[in-house]
Chains A and B, each alone.
Chain A
Amino acid sequence: MRAYPLEQENQIQKYRFVYHFIPHKYHKKRARLLSHGALISYSLVLLVFAVVIRFLPIFAPGVLGYASNIEVNELLRYTNERRARVGLRPLSLNADLTEAAFRKANDMFQVDYWAHVSPTGAKPWDFILGEGYDYIYAGENLAKNFSTSEEVVQAWYDSPTHRENLLSANYDDIGFAIVNGVLNGYETTLVVQMFGRLREPRQIAAVNEISEGFPSTQVAITQPEPVESAPKVEGRSNPVLPQITQVEQTKSFVDVRAVTQSITIAFGGFVTTLLSIDIWYSKRHGILKLTGHTLAHLAFLLVALASVMLSVFPGTIL
């Protein structure tokens, strides 16, 4: 015997909390948290978040940023460690290549592009030659939005085309730039690595010339802020960075990468979990719903999430 009439019992069932997470046997609908209204709500939250991270750097620069811990000394060490593994000689940090790398990074921020060749047609070689480094071989690797030096070098190492540069016997010198700024409207940390071998090797006296004259604080051209420590540099006795003025180091309040990862994992993970529960529960209880294909939704979402995770985390290389 029923405690309530069937209609009333259905009403009670309808509002049971558990149906927020599992499909309803009688109503033949998905979990409430997978309803159209719920999906619209998630999308609105994501949209607001996307707008905030897009425009916050414009209205409140320095609020969003990266908790990156990338240093030139470490980039050089990891690069040379990987070269040593295959019996190659270590590369020497070169002031001209370092400055060319800075100029390239700053050009990317100023012209707003992420590519080896700028929209104005400037190639990596133009920056290298512009610093008076007359090369016989030269190369460039780019990275953005990594957290650590090792992640950057590992990503280059894992990519066949970038590894070709990293492990080339044709190079003697290397230069790095680590620069923070706003690219495409988003806070970005760029790492530029430039390789080279001089057409005519330097005199021995010049090669031994080592300077520690690099600025140890952050420097910037308007937006970009190189986060350079003080590495030993070969090449110039007094490497200065024209047009680059020293600025105070700005600490951001929010690590945009961590927040973005959390949001993506939270929302993506939540919806994929609910879809998985829907498939399992519906099959177990033989619930036939008049909806789209849950398995197709799940597959589409998972492939998209996997693709984006593989391509942008821990960072992007070019």
Chain B
Amino acid sequence: MNEKSHKLIEYSVLIFGVVIFALFFLFYKGGFSGRLLITASAGVFYTLWGVIHHWLEKRLTLEIALEYILISFFTFLLVLISLSV
């Protein structure tokens, strides 16, 4: 499998995962905690995707991993605040 196909698969996994989490979030009929759990899971999924993607590209560093964690955490906090109303 060439590099292009690898990237296509990796990005498809990301898009598919994010869309699935978004749909779960939008159609979830439960309360605040359930939605927060979905957001936290999406954050974990995104961080793992980032780490695995960069590891496969052989350019994973601690800084890059931290970057994905920070973006996920920042997004989680935005959702947390929005759900508080």
Contacts and interface: CB of A to CB of B under 8 A. Distances in A.
A305 B78 contact: yes
A271 interface: yes
Contact of B82 (A43, A47, A260, A297): A260
Interface centre among B59, B66, B73, B81 (most CB of A within 10 A): B81
B75 A115 contact: no
Contact of B39 (A54, A267, A304): A304
B50 A312 contact: no
B49 to A, nearest CB: 8
Q: Interface SS of chain A: helix, strand, loop or mixed? A: helix
A39 B81 contact: no
Given A292-B54, A311-B25, A300 B75 contact: yes
Interface residues of B, number: 41
A260 B84 CA distance: 8
Contacts, number: 116
A39 B74 contact: yes
A303 B18 contact: yes
A42 B78 CA distance: 10
A257 B19 CA distance: 27
A303 B85 contact: no
A120 to B, nearest CB: 15
A256 B85 contact: yes
A157 interface: no
Contacts of B81: 46, 49-50, 53, 260, 263-264
B64 interface: yes
B70 A40 contact: yes
A284 interface: no
A43 B50 contact: no
B18 A36 contact: no
Given A304-B22, A312-B83, A318-B29, 7 more contacts: A50-B84, A114-B32, A257-B85, A291-B67, A292-B64, A292-B67, A301-B75
